[in-house]
Structure 1
Amino acid sequence: MLRLLLALSTALAAGGDGWKRPPPPIERVLLAAPPPTTLAAPGGEKLFLLTPVQYPPLSDLAVPYMALAGRRIDPRNGAPWGTNGFVGLATIDVKTGRRTDLALPEGARVLDWTFSADGRRLALAVRHDDAIRLYVSEDGSRPAQVANLRVNVVLGGVLRFMPDQRTLAVLARVEDGSAPPLEPPVPFGPFVSESSGASAASTYEARDLLRTSFDDQLFSWWATSRVVLVDTHSGKFRTIGQSGPLADVTPSPDGKWLLVERLQGPWSHRTTWDQFTTRFELWDLLGNPREAARRPMAENVPIHGVPEGPRSVHWQQNTDATLVWTEALDGGDPTRDAQHRDRLMARNADLAEPARELFRAAHRVRSVSYGDAGLVLVEEYERERRWRHVWTMDARFGSASAKPWFDLSVNDDYADPGRPLRERTPDGRVLLVQDKDALWFTGDGASPKGDRPFLDRRVIGAPTATRVFRSAPDRYERFIGFVGDDRERLLVRSESETSPPGVVVATTKGAVRDPGAGEAVLERTDERLYAGADPTPELRRIEQRIVTYEREDGVPLSFHLYLPPDHEPGKPLPTVVYAYPREYSDPATAGQVQGSDHTFLRLRGPSHLFYLLDGYAVLDQTAMPVLGDPDTAYDTFVDQLVMDARAAIAKAVEIGVTDPRHVGVIGHSHGGLMVATLLAHSDLFEAGVARSGAYNHTIRPFGYQNERRTLWEAQASYLAMSPTMFAPQLEEPILIVHGAADQNPGTIPFQSERLYDAVRGTGGTARLVMLPYEGHGYVARESVEHVLAEQLEWFDRYVK
């Protein structure tokens, strides 16, 4: 298997024209130092800055990986294949502003982390060439390896602090001297799959599946972990319980139990590991197990449905030791008539009594959060209307105490109350940030003038809120966390078009006189804590603003307009349109403005915004809504897409920035489909760039994107949504780009190969670029530079 995966990408690499690079001015911007990822430690007394690996060399991706049950594993160390991680770590003391750089071992990369509840300890899963090791930074010190363990991240969850906030529960590799099984020189037999009498089921997740008995053995070996309790101060550890294919371990709030998720064979060759039979075990701290719940194998999950049996099993955070999980009441099938679709179940850790029903939901349960004194927030998703329902409930009294709080479209960004804040208590419980009868919410703050993030204090059940913080109208600012316990000092990430992202400590005190609708009611004073650098000052000469307009049927739309440096006002420019189509149920939400024109512009990856440095105007985040009934919206996808694009170009021409004879379109994934569709069904564009898309939906017949019907229920729609079928109409030049190792089940690489063959075979103009070793997004420096060069050359030839 490893040889096959390696040979495939090697053959692709050998068939090209060599690696290209963009012009030096563009390459300089591309390779500029990235900003750090900012982490606020609990309590807000320390800020951690993580430096990402921006563009790893292609040689990092060229390492053969193991494709096992939906996971791609680096056989050298068990790390997720293709994960970049972080190479730098620094801390800032919020009180003094002092920054300390914390060196990591040479060549090491941080893959995962977790804080202790008091913020004193930061535990890190650090990738080395041969293993993933455990490190801890204590009181802002340099991270030190605390135990000679190999951490196992193959199935995900690995680092959990116990309630004492000193002991760490870790999933670690079994140190028994064994080696992975060797692939037999001759297969054990052919690949065989059989089905009989099954109902229509989702096949979307069918990627990188197990196929042979050898794959089964390999998955079993790599998935096997042991539970280890580590004293992060002394470095001593002890192994408890029985090892096996363990997916997660989570301590109970009182610290007396561990919830352990154990996969059980036989392994399926039809679905990914997260749908395998799972035992939810309760261990005492000596490792003695008892089964609390079980989820059966889920090979036949209905289209857009959920598995039967317990899902999202977790600890109820406002009790000592009670498990809560969600169960489907409709067989997991969203098309089945049902008065209630889900229910929440609860069971005490002593298992003395069977599970009891906590809440019965009319729609699918999306999330559960916990507050003080039994408070529970339950969010439901209503599929029929794309609607969001939020309930408050007292867990002690169940459904009888449930009261509705929010009820709105999931697409209504203007009315979005935000997400409730959560925090860790001193013993590690994750509870809603609650002040007596009020909760705290933060959100994007979408508005007709763009996003202005906010922080609200909202009385439980109340329709209105007290706005404590809102981004300044001429900046883009986001709440990061509280400093201390008084809720008056806030950590805020702040930036503008001309100032790079930094962090300020905002103190909110004193009432504002006549604050105005939607504005903060408290005065604010700022103290700068951290200021970022500007590695690309040439980008500050780029002009950006939000433009609103309507399409011909009156649906409101918008795009973010970017103009190149030193643009001459009134002079029309060659223009690039970038978009990603989305589905909506009503025009009011379809036209809502998204994003902000006060962000600090930074270009990274094969971004379409690099066209700005080549003299193009760019219409970014161009609204491409598809309105209609969620069950049939794709029936009018093509017509609406053409209307959307026509309206955007017309507006750009009207305001004098676009020459309509020189417009190109670019998109990625579903946006790649959009590009091919627009070129096949309109004459609005001179050329297009379609990246990592799917162009023939008849080969994924059980639903795609948000399509809810099968191919046999909506043949005409599936065909209309498949531009490969309209290759003779693709008369404008199209550049098709795809990662040869695309892991996204919906965008298998041969989708691009077949589109190219169809266009070429019908006499069209096309170029196919297959990137060796790359996934759905492109990360290696060689790949990113090459795609940028190809994109620029293509539009310079056919659009400019």
Structure 2
Amino acid sequence: MKKLLLYCFLILGMSLTAQENLTYQKPSKEILELAEAPLAPSIRMDTKGENIVFLNRSNYKSIEELSEEELRLGGLRINPVTNIGSRTRYYTGIAIKNGKKGSIKNVTGLPAVVRLANFTWSPDEKLMAFTNTVSKGVELWILDIATGKASKISAANLNANADDAFTWFKDSKALLVKTIPSTRQTLINTKEAVPTGPTISTSESGVEAQNRTYQDLLKNKNDEFNFEQLVLADLYKIDLNGTSVLWKSSDMYLNTSFSPDGNYVMVTTINKPFSYLVPYSRFPSTTTIYKSNGDFVKTVLEVPLIEDLPKGFMAERKGKRDLNWRNDKPATLFWAEALDEGNPENNVPFRDEVFQQEAPFNGPVTSLIKTKDRFRRIIWGNDATAIATDYWWNTRNTRTYVFNPSDASQTPSILFDRNYQDVYSDPGNFVTTKNNFNESVLDLNNKKAFLLGDGFSANGKFPFVDEINLETKETKRLYHSKLTDKLENIVFALNIKAGEIIVQIESKSEYPNYYLRNIKKRIAPIPLTQFENPFKSIQNVSKQVIKYNREDGLELTGTLYLPTNFEKGKKYPMIMWAYPREYKDKSSAGQNTSSPNEFTFPSYGSPIFWVTKGYVVLDDASFPIVGEGNEEPNDTFIKQLVANAKAAIDAVDKMGVIDRNKVAVGGHSYGAFMTANLLSHSNLFAAGIARSGAYNRTLTPFGFQSEERNYWEAPEIYNTMSPFMHANTMKTPLLLIHGEADNNSGTYPLQSERYFNALKGLGAPVRLVMLPKESHGYAAKESILHMLWEQDQWLEKHLKNK
């Protein structure tokens, strides 16, 4: 008996010492200096390039903010006290610059402490609306761009819980605003509520509902009640002076959209029954057209509960979808309908057809275009010209059509028919301009349009501007960036006919700044912003994009950083960070999209911090997983994963800068999944860091990442790819980090907890860090600094001082 008691005490003692009672820690000063460097403002620029709004922001939230009350309902995360998304990232101040050569001035009229969000230009771009969250609610504010003065126009009664909280009237003189209804009932405290019965779900025989493992779903009748109360809103018309008039009484409003001429409003509401299987975006809904004064016109769409779509990523529901306004017409609706019953397994000549109907929406419905694959979008031009695109995930193919929206008898012409993963052949995006309705339409010069392209090539990234003849399909290059020591990105066209474009220029040590470039004049671009580099300690770090080959000949790349204290001839430990991506052809998989001239920005999840600690860093290492023809990428996932890793290590090792016995691998989400698999199936690494990953694919049985086969169709794939199933082979030190409130589909915190238990039970060196209140991406300063500390301690122990 004494021996049994002693054994129990020993076991109890072992379980107690398995946990560490740590408070939040901070990393070393080298890392802390970079992590706390102030961020440059985010900007909002009008389409004329005349005015810039600068939005000041903090690097992080605080753990106190993340600890505010939160309800997770139907895919939403809501603060029920303030009635806005509980994970909303706020801005802390506003400045403004009027004119290309104006000076930056702070906006007046704001309180000393603000939490700002939802910035939206008025249609005429003379004003900007935004919200300010206070202790008990959300206020609506207006910024006058000319004067730089901000004014509050509502009480703290906005309902910003679901989709847009407000929409501008087209005359820019008022807004249609969701507010909390006076009829809202008291929410049920689900932690204290006494159940009145069990929660029961049923499935009709023969009806498949192969849905992914969504999180934050409704779970019971109490959740249903709370969801309804939190989404219910009144719609008020509020003018710029704050005068409010009830426009529509309480309903579960999702979004509102004005016709280009402003005479009609399309309003979508959520209906019952709710679902415990899918998020609110797939709940039943009704779309109704009203006149701008609120008079009912017509119900144009009723969508049932969507729980049982056909299998496959390209599945769609039957009936109207993607209902929207034509930008080039006063009030014309258009929408798509599936011609294959929404089932990708049905073989049909055309997958979708697009239709239109003019106001007052009781006349004929006319066809616009049929697309060979799934309809994606239309860029409207004029009565005779519009651009449509389709795509098909399984082949990674996309087409671009030019068609005549006034004559469906004319066969659309295919401008581009290409693999959308082939970035070298990407023709770019069409330039748009504002029409008399202040809507974006295709910028046309007779039958010619314009394209802005990224310009990726084997030699780097060199953006371009092309002119394309929509009849002959011939292109003429108007501009091609020649910068070799810096990186240029084209942001948008200001006045393409005059040659004016807005670009962003950066280098590895120069923060990205905005410039006005005239491609018709050989003059230096005019600077519009002058942000300084906040990361001085690493501005001179050695950085290069290296190219190397996998054993099958596939060319790979990675961005290599040498330590700030690098000495030639000395070998250093290395951290490799990556994220696997699936391809259907090797030519696309081997393309280079990295640039050594990209600004060196150590974001919170980056491994770049460790160049200050004596590590070589290989960031964004290529990890393509290729499946050509009938083979799916995941059929050889593990083999390709290991081959990618070995090729990367071999390439850097040949440079003579690393000790290949001291290489760590890390990643976030699918990169964490990659990390665990590499440690299970190779002996290439001395340590690993896996953040917010999934490790048991049988817990995501109806597909994951780019795998659309379910577990019962491909059990060997699910089992082979699951690190959990190979925990007995994993003996390399692994640091697991996960947010306790992870909301990403498939990466439940349970994934890390169960994987840790398996590894611990089998004697593997593993550490599990659960970050309170954090979601899939981390937000609180305390959490992020502690994460950096954990990673630093792990690498020092298991890599540098191995």
TM-score (norm 1): 0.93
2:45 pairs with one of 40, 48, 56: 40
Give the 3-state SS of the residue equivalent to 1:611 in structure 2.
helix
Give the 3-state SS of the residue equivalent to 2:520 in structure 1.
strand
Q: Does 1:491 align with 2:498?
A: no
Distance 1:349 1:640, change over 3 A: same
Q: In the alignment, which residue of structure 1 is the partner of 2:447?
A: 437
Equivalent residues of 1:170, 1:249 under 8 A apart: no
Give 1:168 deviation, angstroms.
Answer: 2.4
Give distance in 2, aligned partners of 1:383 and 1:537.
43
Give distance in 1, aligned partners of 2:653 and 2:57.
40
Distance 1:110 1:438, change over 3 A: farther
Distance 1:485 1:292, change over 3 A: same
Q: In the alignment, which residue of structure 2 is the partner of 1:142?
A: 149
Give distance in 2, aligned partners of 1:747 and 1:509.
51
Give the 3-state SS of the residue equivalent to 1:530 in structure 2.
coil
Residues 41-50 or 150-159, more deviating: 150-159
1:582-597 alignment runs, 5 A limit: 582-597=581-596
> Which residue type is aligned with residue 488 of structure 2?
E
Give the 3-state SS of the residue equivalent to 1:652 in structure 2.
helix
1:48-67 alignment runs, 5 A limit: 48-67=53-72
Q: Does 1:193 align with 2:201?
A: yes
Give distance in 1, aligned partners of 2:420 and 2:436.
34
Unaligned runs of 5+ in 1: 1-13, 511-522
Give the 3-state SS of the residue equivalent to 1:693 in structure 2.
coil
Unaligned runs of 5+ in 2: 1-18
Equivalent residues of 2:558, 2:594 under 8 A apart: no
Q: Does 1:324 align with 2:334?
A: yes
Give 1:737 deviation, angstroms.
Answer: 0.7
Equivalent residues of 2:213, 2:700 under 8 A apart: no
Give the 3-state SS of the residue equivalent to 1:398 in structure 2.
coil
Give 1:544 deviation, angstroms.
Answer: 0.9
Question: Between the two proteins, what is the percent identity of the paired residues?
Answer: 30
Give 1:795 deviation, angstroms.
Answer: 1.4
1:205-284 alignment runs, 5 A limit: 206-232=214-240, 234-284=241-291
Distance 1:481 1:632, change over 3 A: closer
> Which residue type is aligned with residue 22 of structure 1?
P
Give distance in 2, aligned partners of 1:396 and 1:241.
35
- Cα offsets for 1:530-564 (capped at 9, x unmatched): 21122221111211111111111111111111112
Q: Does 1:158 align with 2:157?
A: no
1:341-380 alignment runs, 5 A limit: 341-353=351-363, 355-380=365-390
1:717-728 alignment runs, 5 A limit: 717-728=717-728
Give distance in 2, aligned partners of 1:334 and 1:524.
52
- Cα offsets for 1:227-268 (capped at 9, x unmatched): 222323x33232213430111100111211100011111212
Give distance in 1, aligned partners of 2:469 and 2:671.
41
> Which residue type is aligned with residue 406 of structure 2?
R
Q: In the alignment, which residue of structure 2 is the partner of 1:527?
A: 526
Q: Does 1:388 align with 2:394?
A: no
1:570-719 alignment runs, 5 A limit: 570-629=569-628, 632-719=632-719
Distance 1:181 1:698, change over 3 A: closer
2:324 pairs with one of 314, 330, 349: 314
Give distance in 1, aligned partners of 2:518 and 2:211.
52
- Cα offsets for 1:725-769 (capped at 9, x unmatched): 000111111111111000001111100111111111111110001
Equivalent residues of 1:450, 1:546 under 8 A apart: no
Aligned length: 775
Give 1:354 deviation, angstroms.
Answer: 5.5
Give 1:568 deviation, angstroms.
Answer: 1.6
Give distance in 2, aligned partners of 1:353 and 1:661.
74
Give distance in 1, aligned partners of 2:266 and 2:142.
23
Distance 1:398 1:470, change over 3 A: farther
Give 1:381 deviation, angstroms.
Answer: 0.9
Give the 3-state SS of the residue equivalent to 1:506 in structure 2.
strand
Distance 1:610 1:599, change over 3 A: same
> Which residue type is aligned with residue 65 of structure 1?
E
Give distance in 1, aligned partners of 2:476 and 2:212.
41
Give 1:164 deviation, angstroms.
Answer: 1.7
Residues 392-401 or 690-699, more deviating: 392-401
Q: Does 1:115 align with 2:126?
A: no
Give the 3-state SS of the residue equivalent to 2:252 in structure 1.
strand
Q: In the alignment, which residue of structure 1 is the partner of 2:550?
A: 551
Give distance in 2, aligned partners of 1:653 and 1:73.
49
Give distance in 2, aligned partners of 1:336 and 1:508.
48
Give distance in 1, aligned partners of 2:482 and 2:231.
45
Q: Does 1:783 align with 2:794?
A: no
2:112 pairs with one of 106, 111, 118: 106
Distance 1:699 1:354, change over 3 A: farther
Q: In the alignment, which residue of structure 2 is the partner of 1:5?
A: none
Equivalent residues of 1:393, 1:399 under 8 A apart: no
Residues 141-150 or 783-792, more deviating: 141-150
Q: In the alignment, which residue of structure 1 is the partner of 2:16?
A: none
- Cα offsets for 1:753-792 (capped at 9, x unmatched): 1111111111111000111100001111111011111111
Distance 1:173 1:537, change over 3 A: same
> Which residue type is aligned with residue 308 of structure 1?
K
Equivalent residues of 2:42, 2:55 under 8 A apart: yes
Equivalent residues of 1:257, 1:284 under 8 A apart: yes
Give distance in 1, aligned partners of 2:20 and 2:410.
66
> Which residue type is aligned with residue 279 of structure 1?
T
Give the 3-state SS of the residue equivalent to 1:703 in structure 2.
coil
Q: In the alignment, which residue of structure 2 is the partner of 1:516?
A: none
Give the 3-state SS of the residue equivalent to 1:63 in structure 2.
coil
Give 1:458 deviation, angstroms.
Answer: 2.9
Give 1:710 deviation, angstroms.
Answer: 0.9
Residues 452-461 or 379-388, more deviating: 452-461
Q: In the alignment, which residue of structure 1 is the partner of 2:515?
A: 504
> Which residue type is aligned with residue 547 of structure 1?
I
1:693-772 alignment runs, 5 A limit: 693-772=693-772
Give distance in 1, aligned partners of 2:342 and 2:728.
42
Q: In the alignment, which residue of structure 2 is the partner of 1:79?
A: 84
Give the 3-state SS of the residue equivalent to 2:383 in structure 1.
helix
Residues 182-191 or 360-369, more deviating: 182-191
Distance 1:201 1:446, change over 3 A: farther
Give distance in 2, aligned partners of 1:651 and 1:723.
26
Distance 1:48 1:564, change over 3 A: same
Give 1:295 deviation, angstroms.
Answer: 1.6
RMSD over aligned CA atoms reads 2.1
Q: In the alignment, which residue of structure 1 is the partner of 2:302?
A: 294
Give distance in 2, aligned partners of 1:772 and 1:505.
45
Give the 3-state SS of the residue equivalent to 1:793 in structure 2.
helix
Q: Does 1:69 align with 2:83?
A: no
Give 1:181 deviation, angstroms.
Answer: 4.9
Equivalent residues of 2:268, 2:285 under 8 A apart: yes
2:134 pairs with one of 120, 128, 131: 128
Give distance in 2, aligned partners of 1:73 and 1:791.
31
Equivalent residues of 1:164, 1:427 under 8 A apart: no
Q: In the alignment, which residue of structure 1 is the partner of 2:14?
A: none
Residues 592-601 or 727-736, more deviating: 592-601
1:478 pairs with one of 489, 502, 513: 489
Give distance in 2, aligned partners of 1:717 and 1:319.
50
Give 1:348 deviation, angstroms.
Answer: 2.3
> Which residue type is aligned with residue 138 of structure 2?
I
Give distance in 2, aligned partners of 1:418 and 1:16.
53
- Cα offsets for 1:112-169 (capped at 9, x unmatched): 1211233211111222222222111112412211233633222212333333233323
Q: Does 1:420 align with 2:420?
A: no
Q: In the alignment, which residue of structure 1 is the partner of 2:4?
A: none
Give distance in 2, aligned partners of 1:295 and 1:748.
30
Q: In the alignment, which residue of structure 2 is the partner of 1:6?
A: none
